[in-house]
Chains A and B, each alone.
Chain A
Amino acid sequence: MKIAILIDRPRWEEKRLLDAALKKGLKPILLNLNEIILDLSRIQFDDYDLVLQRCISHYHGLYASKILEDVGLKVMNKFSVSAILGNKLFLTLLLNKAGIKTPRTYIAFDREKAEEAIEKLDFRAVVKPLVGSWGRYVTPIFSKQEMKPILDLFDNIMHPPNNVYYVQELVERPPRDIRMIIAGKDIIACVYRNSKEGVWATNVAQGAITTPCELNEELKSLAEKISKTLNGGIFGIDVMESKEGYLVNDVNPTPEFKGAQACTAHDIAEKIIEYVVNG
């Protein structure tokens, strides 16, 4: 079986995936989007049986997935799934519809309405760009005085297609969250991401340190529900521990796992490749 790992900037993770595929006796290649031209009138990609999409640019990954799927290749995760997960508005809608608890979220299209939403949340809110990751520009508001300067900053960085106010309740949580990585029905990693001293966000990209997290029935059923809703695939699920129970904050379609691997006994890349090959 020939598998292409679609990349734009190979990270530690993509190299582990390449190693794991080689170890399985597959014929993997790293297909770098920055090194190719695609002729839309005659695309030929019969060299591979399967494409594992691992781009760090959300849009580049999406466009390439669409092109490759159109010529009949199997791309993982699917274009349609990545398109939803890469956008916080679409993702939150999907989770809510599936009955999966998320922090309360308001969408406003107008600055004044955004302020109204924040007021509804007693001026304890989080504003986020719809597209983006690693916790960049995700900004907590702890008090009324902070609202205006933060929204002013936001107005400066927002432009189409990102210029919508995504306003979320500021969840009271310990200085950590739970990251599960799933491949199909299997949970292949479950860790706490403990935020770095003095940092509010719990992203590994912002210095969080991972520690093992024991699975329980509730986490398992949450993972199962998400897997079912998305019809299988490889995802990184971020869960917050609120007073009212678990809240799903994010589902990432091209999860990084360097942090999770640091406190996981088995090889996460191998589990991903096994799933990619065997389904």
Chain B
Amino acid sequence: MSKLVKCELCDADIEIQDDVVVGELITCPECGSEYEVVKVTEKGVIIKEAEKIEEDWGE
């Protein structure tokens, strides 16, 4: 069973996968807002707005 969290910007449901981990970035499927997972609990996850993509990010 996947968890759901509400997008702070557009109120859409964002599906959270079972293997979610703290620090992961998630994207709202409706508006594209980026969030970072701050906490994972039994009930769900807590998210905060992600920081902007830094110049040295990548693979």
Q: Which of A132, A236, A254 counts the most B-chain CB atoms under 10 A from its CB?
A: A132
Task: Fill in one digit per residue for A6-32: 1 if any B CB lies within 8 Å of its CB, else 0.
Answer: 011111000100010000000000101
Nearest to B51 among chain A residues (CB) is A9
CB distance from B56 to the nearest CB of A (A): 4
- Chain B binder among A56-64, A148-156, A266-274: A56-64
Question: Across the interface, which residues of B come within 8 angstroms of A11, CB to CB?
Answer: 24-25
Beyond contacts A7-B23, A134-B59: 12 other A-B pairs, Cβ-Cβ < 8 A, are A9-B23, A30-B21, A34-B23, A56-B58, A56-B59, A58-B56, A132-B56, A136-B53, A162-B55, A205-B58, A236-B59, A252-B59
Number of A positions contacting B (CB below 8 A): 29
Q: Pull 21 A–B residue pairs with CB atoms less than 8 Å apart, ordered by A.
A: A9-B36, A10-B24, A11-B24, A15-B19, A32-B22, A34-B23, A56-B57, A56-B58, A57-B54, A58-B58, A131-B55, A132-B58, A133-B57, A134-B57, A134-B59, A136-B53, A136-B55, A162-B55, A205-B58, A236-B59, A254-B59
Give the Cβ gap from A159 to chain B, nearest Cβ, in Å.
9
Which 10 pairs show the lowest CB-CB distances between chains A and B?
Answer: A133-B58, A58-B56, A256-B59, A252-B59, A56-B57, A10-B24, A10-B21, A134-B58, A32-B23, A59-B56
Interface residues on B, range: 10 to 19
Would you give the 0/1 interface string for B35-59, flagging 1 where the beta carbon is closer than 8 Å to chain A?
0100000000000000001111111
Q: How far is the CA of A250 from the CA of B19 in the complex (A)?
A: 31
User: How far, in Å, is A179 (CB) from chain B's closest CB?
Assistant: 10
- Knowing A15-B19, A57-B54, say if A9 contacts B25 (CB, 8 Å): yes
Shortest beta-carbon distance, A170 to chain B, in Å? 22
- Give the distance to chain B from A254, nearest Cβ to Cβ, in Å: 5
